[in-house]
A and B are shown apart, each in its own frame.
Chain A
């Protein structure tokens, strides 16, 4: 059960496919976005283009290079404030589409909440694009620190479920399997200790696999704490070829592992989180280091995002112009067409436009607006004339 504004109650029945936590997350976001929508029509206020890229990060320092590169501005969110979630928006000319960025905090559930919040706030369409970027720990020794990994498979460690973003767009990154954990992951010490207070020992390097329970051996090449949550949320709105997961190797689970939970999202985007940065375990993984790791990937990322836009362009050019859609509406009214006949008219028009490669103009139908129609029968006759005009001989 979920309570809305003290007077609306939603009840969610048992659903074997959804945990109560996920239900809570979605319900929470639903309330934040849909209930508040009349007060704050988000798309009208914040979107400049039909197309949008939504970028999600867990940490502000992961977001900062992108905020700076795309010159994003922090959005003022309507009350009630969505926890620690921060949203940045912009319309960079280099991308020819809106760029939104959400900083959601660590953990798969926080990531799912943040992504759902941002996508619903943006009134996402299936043509939009999603990118999750952040630092990760590498299980494989051959993945060097600073290397970016495009994730073609994402395993949610807690549930064992695997997700597969499509890799249709050409990219320069190495690929690998990402495994998402709910708590920080560290390598085991020589005596099986967990030097950084992490959840479970992870085998790597010279640590034999038999030292850890089989169920805890990472199946992924890299590990993080958000990827699976982001995928589950974004997949509710977007096709799998419009989702991209890039993880930059920050460590090998052995030393200088950032305790994600200790890195707070600053309240102001320009504030460097020095208070938390010095508490990190390794000397090299403070806020600026994370900034550097992500910043190095921004040019390549921008190229990939542009290609994603090109894929959109080639696939989905709309057949009818707005003027033609208006002409069809006028014809429906003038010719007194029934719902079924209106549907046929639209189908005929689409067929004609497609057959002429989009070049044939529906202006040839405009004279029908001057044809006197008093009865439905006359309208039907006019539709038959249109059929003859638009179909092949």
Chain B
């Protein structure tokens, strides 16, 4: 059983929390009165028969309370079942990769995540660590159909959560894939740190052909980074095993080395991570790869530092570039260049995507190098 599978049992999940002090995860479920009518809500409630149910008028009454402490709530995360109101889709942010797609959107059927990554921007973005699950998927689908009448859509469905990690709790990913499989003009990306590909394999794997317009994207980090900074997530080895099986079953698999972190001995850590990746995966079968440094809007980082006063990653003296904090310029360039060079030993450069700004910095650096060589 991989680690993510523990989340489907309150008792088992309790092994990850200090049960002597805190209540087990999902011990309480807040339910919007309106949500109760949806089959998805009934299904989720059925999975947690012992949970205390608390009726709420709107999910914000609980989720948006003032003075909540994200880190404390992560110790005993609660569920909130709600009905999402429009808008259902958002234009992709500049700090996210668009992979060359011109109509880049993201959507959130869930707010927050089962994992507890130290650097996660959600702790600066949301006032609560509780997990909100929206139960009106059909409204999302209707909105996508409406948009598809105007142009093709590239949609990231797992930016503000990790949907595949919670697939046995709520089958969002399968529902999205079923929906996308009938709409060739829609491309969806399912980003995950989980090792839970098995949850999809039964529905879409062999002998069925996986939809061509679905990309399964694994975020990969060095084992040491996972151990120290990505609590509750599966190991690199487990993620790679999941990705390998997905490739074998014919899925498009994307690899995301994002965020790359400036940790001690970072060069060796990322070199080993990349080597391990391509020892496990056939490089020629990887759809594409993205590289991104740790970056976060200034306002988010301020809140994140308050929430995690003991985090070395968050206390790092980042540089502010147009409201986004990231590593200082020379270091940022060096980190991107290093990771890119190691990757290019395995895959052609045109498979590697950088963010717009980082791509610009890289090109500028290349031009400078060329200029220096020419004038030597």
B36 at interface by CB-CB < 8 Å = no
Name which residue of chain A comes closest to B317, CB basis: A347
Chain B residue numbers with a CB within 8 Å of A344 are 317
Rounded to whole angstroms, the CA-CA distance of A240 and B75 in the bound complex is: 14
Q: Is A75 an interface residue (CB 8 A)?
A: no
User: Do B312 and A170 have beta carbons less than 8 Å apart?
Assistant: no
Instruction: Find B72's partner among A164, A241, A350, A393 (CB 8 Å cutoff).
Output: A241
Q: Which residues of A contact B75 (CB under 8 A)?
A: 168, 311, 315
Contact residues, A137-188 vs B (CB, 8 A): 152-153, 162, 164, 166-171, 175, 177
Known A168-B76, A239-B69, A241-B69: A351·B317 in contact at CB below 8 Å: yes
Do residues B65 and A167 form an inter-chain contact, with CB atoms below 8 A? no
Interface string of A332-361 (1 = CB under 8 A from B): 000000000000100110111111001000
Task: Give which listed residue, A162, A166, A354, contacts B61 with CB less than 8 A.
Answer: A162
Contacts of B66 in A (CB 8 A): 235
B62 at the interface (CB under 8 A from A): yes
Q: Is A392 an interface residue, CB under 8 A from the partner?
A: yes
Residue B28, interface by CB 8 Å: yes
Cβ < 8 Å to A, chain B residues 8-24: 18-23
- In the complex, what distance in Å separates the CA atom of A371 from the CA atom of B336? 36
- Which residue of B20, B27, B72, B262 is within 8 Å of A392 (Cβ)? B262
Interface size class of A (residues with CB under 8 A): 35 or more
For the complex, what is the distance from the CA of A257 to the CA of B316, rounded to whole Å?
60
Contacts of B21 in A (CB 8 A): 169-170, 307, 310-311, 314
CB distance from A260 to the nearest CB of B (A): 27
Q: Which of A166, A310, A353, A387 has the most CB of B within 10 A?
A: A166
**CB-based contact B72/A167 at 8 Å:** no
Contacts A164-B54, A235-B66, A241-B69 hold; do A316 and B309 have CB atoms under 8 A apart? yes
Residue of B nearest to A392 (CB): B264
Q: Does the CB pair A239–B23 fall under 8 Å?
A: no
- CA separation between A240 and B78, bound complex, in Å? 14
Minimum distance in angstroms from A140 CB to a CB of chain B: 14
Residues of B within 8 A of A235 (CB): 65-67
Residues of A within 8 A of B73 (CB): 166, 168, 241
Q: Any chain A CB within 8 A of the CB of B138?
A: no
* Number of A-B residue pairs with CB-CB distance less than 8 Å in the complex they form: 110
How does the 8 Å CB contact mask read for B63-90 relative to A, with 1 for contact and 0 for none?
A: 0011111011101101000000000000
Known: A241-B73, A392-B263. A153 touches B54 (CB 8 A): yes
Q: What residues on B are CB-neighbors of A354 within 8 Å?
A: 310-313, 315
Name B316's contact: one of A167, A170, A310, A351 (CB within 8 Å).
Answer: A351
Q: Which of A207-260 contact B (CB under 8 A)?
A: 235, 238-241
Q: How far is the CA of A153 from the CA of B311 in the complex (A)?
A: 33
In the complex, what distance in Å separates the CA atom of A307 from the CA atom of B75?
13
Given A240-B65, A241-B73, the answer on whether A162 and B23 have CB atoms closer than 8 Å is no
Q: In the assembly, what is the distance between CA of A84 and CA of B61, in Å?
A: 34
Q: Are B20 and A315 in contact (CB under 8 A)?
A: no
Q: Does B322 contact A (CB under 8 A)?
A: no
Q: CA–CA, A39 to B262, complex, Å?
A: 52
Q: How far, in angstroms, from A310 to B265 measured CA to CA in the complex? A: 35
A238 close to B57 (CB less than 8 A): no
Q: Which of A167, A169, A239, A392 contacts B28 (CB 8 A)?
A: A167
B22 touches A168 (CB 8 A): yes
Alpha-carbon distance A350/B306, docked complex (angstroms): 12
In the complex, 20 of the A-B residue pairs with CB atoms within 8 angstroms, ordered by the A residue number, are A164-B30, A164-B61, A167-B28, A167-B52, A168-B72, A168-B73, A169-B21, A170-B19, A171-B23, A240-B65, A307-B22, A310-B21, A311-B21, A311-B22, A311-B75, A314-B21, A315-B72, A352-B312, A358-B310, A393-B265
